[in-house]
Structure 1
Amino acid sequence: MTDTVVGAAGARAHPGTAAQAPTPDVPGEVAGPELVQLLTPEGERVHHPRYDLETTPEELRSLYRDLVLVRRVDVEATALQRQGELGIWASLLGQEAAQVGSGRALLARDHAFPTYREHGVAWTRGVDPLQLLGLFRGVNHGGWDPAEHGFHLYTIVIGAQTLHATGYAMGMQRDGAEAATIAYFGDGASSQGDVNEAFTFASVTSAPVVFFCQNNHWAISEPLERQTRIPLYQRALGFGFPGVRVDGNDVLACLAVTRDALRTAREGGGPTLVEAYTYRMGAHTTSDDPTRYRIASEVEQWKLKDPLERLKAHLVRGGWADQAFLDDLDREAEALAVRLREGCRALPDPPPTAMFDHVYAEPHPLLAEERAGMVDYLASFEDAPEGAAR
């Protein structure tokens, strides 16, 4: 890279980002010159000297469609869980722009490694949201092909996917592939050893990987100030690669910054840490009650920064989205919701022996023995006389 400056310890740093002095993280407030923003909360288009973006009205409408439909998937899945159709659901409410913007920056040959909340990234990679519901319904382990979509299976172990993404990137690097990986994780996961180990491996090998941290301010019930004493993006300096903070509720800025970081990775420039400064407007999962650890006024402050509303305001102000477009999109969202409701309830339950089907790639004698034992156990219920003790 030629457009770099030297930050702490001689590490590469993007101009105006990682070399800046720390800015305190105040709930509901985003301030400081290090924040990359292209669209204000009021929907006003602004420009950035490095991360600018040229868009057509069609592209803006397409991004807004993504945001609306991804949110509808999330709302519908939450309702299905409340109705007992899903075991649990991890909502992305408020984080749609970070996921759609970064997801749309990926090329077909790139690979994304998600946590369990990247429903918006899955959408941009062509994964049917009904397959996501199957995972949370407990009828499969992830019903999509990672190779087909360049989108790997959800990772429940916090931070482990950063090592997966780094290792995959190192492999592509050695194969000479002009491609990159992107690893998604949250602010809480940044405290995990796996994440820091991934940073080390990626840095010393110049692996083509982008670390995309969605800083939603809460690691379940732990606030951001319990995770770090400096802005998260500045942690990259200690590992020798650039970090940049982007407005995570600005889909255009997330697209521009991630596209630049991925291009750098593909061209041999090594890793970048992107901190998407956003907010989790809902619960951590449907088993969580956020009212027990955060105040309502904080949530209300962030509602004013809603990623959907700011892009809608920009579209309407520019005359690029009329009422007919918005009405058609509402109808499309409702049709998607109906398909998800009906499709979720129709997902077939797997047979109990399905748990043995994909443990090993080749036959394994111990697994075959365990499967046979399960078959015999299930058959004993069928052979027992009615009313007999079991």
Structure 2
Amino acid sequence: MEENTIKVGDFIIVQRQGYTKLHKLKAHGTLSIGSFNVEMDNVVGEKYSDTFQMKNCPANKRLFTLEKVDEVPSAKSVTIEKSGVDNRNITDDGQSQNLTTEQIDKLKSEELNSNNIVEKLITNSKTFNSKTEYSQEKYIKKKEKKYFEYVQIRHPTIRLLATMFYRQDPAKTLGIRIDDLSQIITYSNIQSQGTHLLYDSGTSGLVPAALLNQIGRDTTAHLIHIHPGNECQKSALVAMKFPQEQLDRCVNVNLYSVLRCFYQNKDSFSDEPVSKKMKIDEEAGPKKAGWQKDNERACRLLETGVDSLIITAKEHPVTIVDELVKFLNGGRYLVVFSLSREPLQELYNHLKEKLDFIYIRIVNNFMRNYQVLPERTHPEVNMTTGGYILTAFKLVS
């Protein structure tokens, strides 16, 4: 039950209609949701998935507070008296609305109610009755969305985070969409046992979070998360709030540092139990830095080979694959994601020259959302084709 209770310090997703925002809950903190500055104290101690209504704060007209509600009342339908034939005589000169900005802000501060505000905007519009029925519906929908006063507090999930990051800025996650992410997990055959190797150079922690989530709690599997910088990107990892034992099975190491450690100290790795060896090393000399311990731990895991290799890189993947694929056990898959086809084509040709890879493929998922309305069913206009995924099967040597 505690996991379903909202606490200070938690990462939460605030959803207002189709808009979602990741927020770290702080004591006496506020959050900007569109044009609303909202006080978040009232959500502490409540349950995830609860719905709250934004209410005016009496002490500060520019601040809103949240009040828990059992359900969102259905939107009151606005009666359209008449509609125009076309919009050719309507000009957007900024003079069609009789209400001023100050009067609209006063409506919001007096009593925030999207239905009432939309009705007053329609009543005071000079051109609303001249618009076509379709334009009137769009106008009402747009205004209801702008002044909608209900929010839902949701627990972060991989699907929510992937959708939110992609909507905000696809570059933050290398352009990985939710369908790309599901294909990466499927092709790499992530399981709750074994060791899985990931090279990630900039997905805001989305891919390692997804793989760690797939590995699951209280399992024996490990994830080696290799990154190019001094610190890995882990926004999504932190937001998911994994238990400590699950986080401990994710080893974050720098690419160059861990390879240097592996090749320089290769002879020192043995089949001796890790916990015993670490204890002996700690007693033998001064304490090592955390990154050094992580490197040694990763090297011991790499010594036995990995059961999957996933690469999501901004860089050209050929060199990275050459350095890491030697750790991949036979009978396992290599999965490489790129937003562009050309780097994967070069990698395809490169792997074709090797004798230990077969079934090399490049796939592209083109998932497209559709708007389904009477006489207005069509694909969404602003869509991308997603990225490209190369998969290859390594033969048993």
What TM-score do the two structures reach when normalised by structure 1? 0.30
What TM-score do the two structures reach when normalised by structure 2? 0.30
Larger proportion of helix: 1
Greater C-alpha Rg: 2
**Higher RCO (Cα < 8 Å, 6 or more apart):** 1
